[in-house]
Structure formats: structure tokens, C-alpha cells
Homo-oligomer: A and B are copies of this chain.
Amino acid sequence: MASKPEVRLTDQQRFDWLRLVRSENVGPRTFRALVTNFGGARAALNALPGLARRGGASREIRVASVEEIEKELIAARKLGVRFIALGEPDYPPALWQIDSAPPVLALRGHAEALHKAAVAIVGSRNASAAGLTFAERLARGLGQAGYVIVSGLARGIDQRAHLASLETGAVGVLAGGHGKPYPGDAVPLMERMVESGAILSEMPIEWEPRGRDFPRRNRIVSGLALGVVVVEAARGSGSLITARFALDQNRQVFAVPGSPLDPRAEGTNDLLKQGASICTGPDDVLTALEPVRSSDDLAALREAGGEPGEPLWGEQALYGVDPESTPRTQPGDEFEDMSGAPYRSGGEAQAARERIIALLGPSPITLDELARAAEAPARAVRVALLELELAGRVEYSGDRVALRAIAD
């Protein structure tokens, strides 16, 4: 396969990416919109305060400080953590494909483990003995067949799957930062995992994980994998969220059947009713995934990207954006607000913003519906939404957007 020149961020760009991604109200979607609109993280950082203000923020948006990021970099070095930006060669190609791919991943361990075909194995924390044994056999069988096993480091099924794949490739995803490894009892396991596998986090190094970080993390677990196997899951459990993400990400979902009288099988049996593939052993997964694994999709993805040495073009190229088709600043451009070229706001965007606020309600509607109803140019809608999002006034779920009940 012809190898294309690789896109890597400069140290300064990486620093700016971290600052941008650690700033208030900047999620993966907003990050992408900012970088593609402004041509790079530096310009976006400069634009942030003005954007949020014009979106109606009740107070100044919190932009991550240089000191904060310097501190994180020092902590990372101590822990052996390095940062990979979306689109860089080390970034896991499968994860790159998902809508809300983290702009920056903090990695402990070996990036090679992120480039082999992977299967996620997830399940209950309070797993049954049979569930644990099954998870172990499955992880071992898939590992021997060349798959890396991804999971969420939780007690029960997750940890058993990690343990059984230590020698063949184990990847864990934290809900918090590397400096606050959770759960604590998994620390010795994590130390063994990084010897040949990897631990990933998208959160600031010293981030203590809260409840809502776990479902968010689960999109990375499924996004890293070609398929997700749910071994045991009660109704409403986190493993089902992972399965839901997997479906949204066009990953294959497998469920392990169980007795209808076992509450730990209710979730997996439900998945089977909803069309998940039944998994009673590694062969079911191998048979189903072999065509995906052998396709050139992942390889093709690696071929994308722009030329090195053109930092701003490069930053857009990481997202697969053609810089010629995107209004962007020139290298070195800095501006305090959005009134100047090349980002033209003013009356058009202002009008769009007001129409959008009037159109939005607490029920999510699709961006398409919104754009049609707003009768404004697509770019004006995009910018207005970006401003509103940075101001914390709208929130997304998938490709739907709604007014935030209470701005926080």
C-alpha cells in the first residue's frame, strides 16, 4: 500500500488543541466545527470568548489557560502518558470514524494495540460465575484469533476480559483521567495492561470521573472496536448504552443469551430480540467480523490526511476537511472578536441566531429540520449553533439539537 505523508501536529499545535478541548463547552462536535471554521485551534481559541458572548453566554466562557495545560503536560510525562490528536498516525482508525471522536486521546501504553482489529467485551459488574468464565473464554479465543480486546476496566466482565487478553492485546478506556485511575482495584491490572496493551482517556489527567462520564466513555469503547459483545447486562445497565453507541456507530452488536429467569440476562436477551447477533462463543464473532476485518476500510482511512509542514491546513486535514472549501484564517491571524475577515458574522449570523433560538425548544430536532425552518444559509446556521453551544444554551444528542433547559 502506498504510504502517504503523515499529518502530525507541531508541539505548539498540540498544545493549542489541548487548550481548546479543555475549554468550557467544547465537546468533540464543537471542537471540530471550530477547527474547520477557523482553520486551526489557535485561531479558534482566540475566537472563543466572542463566539460565546454573541451566543448569549451569561458570563465569560472559561478558556483553558496556558498554565493549566503546562501542568497537565508535566503530569502526563510523569505518568508516561502521551497525547494523540485525531487524525494523527497513532490515532485509532476505527475510532476516527465515529461522529464524536475525541479530538485528543491521552495514551498510556502502546499505540500499536490501537491499530489492530478490536472487539469490545462488556457486561455486568455483578456478573455470575458463568458470565465471568464465558467472558474469559471469549476474550482468550478472540485474542488468539488476532483481535485486541477493548473494555471499560469495570469490575466483573470488563476486568475478566482484560485479564484474559493481557498477552494478546488489552485496551482499557477510563471514564476519568489517567491521574485518577478508576476503579482503584483495577490499578494493578492496568499496570499489566500497559506492558503490551494500552489505557486511553479523553479527560484531563486529574479528572475524577463522575456518573455522566461513564456513558460518555462507552462511546469510545464501542468506537475502538469492530463489534461489541455484551456478555451479561441487566435492563438499563451501562453495557446497553455501549451497545446503543455501537449501533449508532455501525458496529456489529453481539449478545450472549441467558436464562429468562436470570435478571443479568434480561438486557442481553432484549438485545437479541432487537436484532443483535447471538454469541455463544468466539466463532460467532469471528465469522461475522472476518469480512469487516479483511476489508480495506481501515487501511483507506489511514491514507487520508493532508501534507505535513502546513500547520493550519494540516489541522483541518486531520478532520478530512478540504481547506479550500472552508473559510479559514491565514496562518498567524489573530482576532479578538468575530467582526473581521475571514470569519464574517454580523447581520446575517445575528438574524440566523435569533430565528434559531425562536425555533428551538426542549424537544430535540434534527439539524436538517432546523436549517429548513430557519431559512438561513447553512453556514449562518452552523455558526449560530456554534455560538449558542459555546454559550451553553443548546445541547446535542446525536444529530439532534435542543434548547438547554437551564444553562450551566
Q: Which of A259, A261, A265, A279 has the most CB of B within 10 A?
A: A259
Asked if A133 is at the interface (CB within 8 A of a chain B CB), the reply is yes
Tally of chain A residues near chain B (CB < 8 A): 21
Report which of B131, B134, B261, B265 forms a contact with A133, defined as CB distance below 8 A. Answer: B261
Residue of B nearest to A270 (CB): B280
A218 close to B (CB within 8 Å): no
The interface bits of chain A over 268-284 (1 if a CB of B lies within 8 angstroms of the residue's CB, else 0) are 01001100001111001
Contact of A256 among B133, B134, B260 (CB under 8 A): B260
Is A74 engaged at the interface, CB distance under 8 Å to the other chain?
no
CA distance A273 to B277 in the complex (A): 8
Shortest distance from the beta carbon of A254 to any chain B beta carbon, whole Å: 12
Q: Is A169 an interface residue, CB under 8 A from the partner?
A: no
Give the distance in Å from the alpha carbon of A284 to the alpha carbon of B272 in the complex: 12
CB distance from A137 to the nearest CB of B (A): 9
Within 8 A of B (CB), among A226-285: 256-262, 265-266, 269, 272-273, 278-281, 284
Which chain B residues border A272 with CB–CB below 8 Å? 257, 272, 278
**CB pair B260 A134 closer than 8 Å:** yes
Asked if A351 lies at the interface with its beta carbon under 8 angstroms from chain B, I say: no
Q: What are 10 A-B pairs with beta-carbon distances under 8 A?
A: A134-B259, A257-B259, A257-B260, A257-B278, A259-B265, A260-B279, A269-B278, A269-B280, A272-B272, A273-B278
Apart from A130-B261, A257-B260, A257-B265, what 14 extra A-B contacts exist at CB < 8 Å?
A: A130-B259, A130-B262, A131-B259, A134-B260, A134-B261, A256-B260, A257-B257, A257-B272, A258-B258, A259-B265, A260-B280, A269-B280, A272-B278, A273-B284
